[in-house]
Amino acid sequence: MNNSDTDRIDETVTAELSRLRDSIDNIDAAVVYMLAERFKCTQQVGHLKANHQLPAADPTREASQIARLRQLAESAKLDPAFAEKLLNFIIAEVIRHHETIAAGEDQ
């Protein structure tokens, strides 16, 4: 393999890396915007719960969501344990928001 072949391969690899990284960047942006939309909805749920003296956490709903997301993850060929960890992190943040709302700190 001569030097021009190596340069061509390097350019091809660099272009492919760039294309893939652009896709990753777009997906990351979409994930952030989707999470923002999700949190807008959960904020509304938090206000509704606070207005009706409902608890911030709903273990039955949370367990159902975790089971549902694990199934979706399996279908999508994503590690279900990872999906569960991610959802548990999100749920903890939502509960924290709901507790803040219920305490009257976010009206």
Structural domains present in the chain: 3-102 (1.20.59.10)
Q: Distance between the two ends of the chain, CA-based, in angstroms? A: 68
Instruction: List, for residues 5-14, the tens digit of each pLDDT value.
Output: 667 779 999 9
Which residue has tokens 């990284």?
Answer: 21
Mean pLDDT of the chain: 94
Instruction: Give the separation between CA 47 and CA 100, rounded to whole angstroms.
Output: 10
Q: Per-residue pLDDT tens for 59-85?
A: 999 999 999 999 999 999 999 999 999
Which tokens go with 16? 């492919």
Please state, in angstroms and rounded to a whole number, the distance separating the CA atoms of residues 70 and 81: 7
